């Protein structure tokens, strides 16, 4: 499938920003528990390198609402990688590690879910189509 560009540009990468409750707790979870490398860190902002893009968190303060209904999905290279990630996380202090990896009838995905300290749903997946 070929797409024509409406403007002449080449996107190098992407970054998605989410508000967080506590920047240090978020850093400890994503870097320490999940193993994502820190790309950039400022006083109220941290970026994690996800390979083909960045996931960033900003601590705005108590007046900024958290995002709701979000699912942050990490695409892994194989079904055995999804299984290995699940096994690795079972022995770590993860939050809300739900059911083991499974094929989902509604979507062509093999995945499992957990939560982060901010209440966001995380998914580690491999698309199967």
* Tally of structural domains, the chain: 2
Within a domain: residue 2?
Answer: no
User: What is the per-residue pLDDT for 62?
Assistant: 83
Rounded CA separation 33/113 (Å): 15
pLDDT band at 38 (very low <50, low <70, confident <90, very high): very high
Sign of CA dihedral 118, 11, 82, 125: positive
Mark whether 36 and 78 lie in a shared domain: no
Confidence check: pLDDT of 2 > 70:
no
E strands along 44-118, which residues?
Answer: 45-49, 54-58, 71-75, 102-104, 109-115
Q: What is the pTM of this model?
A: 0.86
90 burial type by CB count under 10 A (0-12 exposed, 13-18 middle, 19+ buried): exposed
CATH number at residue 23: 3.10.180.10
Residue 123 φ then ψ, to 5°: -135, 130
- Are 45 and 87 found together in one domain? no
- Residue at 4 is within a domain: no
pLDDT of 30 above 90: yes
Across the beta sheet with 71-75, the strand order is 71-75, 121-127, 109-115, 102-104
* Distance in Å from the first CA to the final CA of the chain: 16
16 and 40 part of one domain:
yes
Look at residue 48 and tell me if it is in a domain: yes
pLDDT band at 5 (very low <50, low <70, confident <90, very high): low
Q: Which domain holds residue 83?
A: 69-129
Q: Are residues 52 and 88 in the same domain?
A: no
């Amino acid at each position: 499938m070929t797409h024509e560009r409406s403007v002449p540009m080449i996107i190098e990468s992407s970054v998605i920003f989410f508000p967080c409750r506590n920047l240090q707790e978020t850093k400890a979870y994503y870097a320490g528990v999940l193993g994502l490398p820190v790309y950039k860190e400022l006083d109220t902002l941290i970026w994690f390198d996800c390979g083909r893009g960045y996931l960033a968190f900003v601590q705005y303060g108590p007046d900024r609402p958290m995002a709701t209904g979000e699912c942050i999905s990490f695409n892994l290279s194989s079904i055995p990688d999804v299984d290995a990630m699940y096994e690795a996380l079972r022995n770590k202090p993860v939050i809300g590690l739900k059911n083991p990896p499974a094929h989902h009838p509604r979507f062509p995905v093999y995945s499992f879910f957990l939560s982060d300290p901010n209440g966001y749903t995380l998914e580690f997946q491999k698309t199967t189509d």
